[in-house]
Amino acid sequence: MRWFFIFTAFLVSCSDESISGFANRDTVYRLVEIDGEVFSARATIAFPEPGRAHGEGPCNAWSAPQTVPYPWIMLGPIAATKRACPDLQAEGRYFAALGAVTLAEVAGDVLILSSDDGLEMVFNAE
C-alpha cells in the first residue's frame, strides 16, 4: 500500500497541470485579435515545456513562467529583449494584455486568453 502512494505522488509530480499540458507543445499560436479588433502586427505565444511560455512580440522575443493549473493562466514576470521597431505601440498593447489575462481555452487550433474584466485575446495556430 505504501508503494501505491509513493507511485501516485510520483505521477502527480510528473504531470503538467499548466496550459502546456493541454496545448500542443509543438504549436506556435499567432495573435489575430485583441478585444474583437484585428491585431495586424505579428505576435506569437507557445508552450513548449511545463511551466513556461515564450513567443515573439512585434519587436522582441519574450519568455515567462506559467505555473498555475489550466484553465487559469498567469504569465510573468515577462522577460523580453529590448529592440526598438516601428511597432512598439502594438507590442506594448500585446505585453499589457498578456500580463492581464487569467483564463485560457484551447480548442483545436484556436487559443483564447481572457480576463474577468472582459479582455480577450484570440490566437490561431500557425
Of 79, 50, 81, 80, nearest to 66 by C-alpha is: 50
Instruction: Return the C-alpha cell found at 67.
Output: 505555473
The pLDDT value given to residue 3: 42
The pLDDT value given to residue 15: 63
The pLDDT value given to residue 81: 97
Buried/exposed code over 84-109 (b: 16+ C-beta within 10 A; e: otherwise): eeebeebbebbbebbebbbebebeee
Q: Are residues 75 and 46 in contact, defined by beta-carbon separation less than 8 angstroms?
A: no
Tell me the residue type at 20. Answer: S
The pLDDT value given to residue 18: 86
- Domains present along the chain, CATH in parentheses: 17-125 (2.40.128.270)
Which residues of the chain are under the pLDDT cut of 50?
A: 1-13
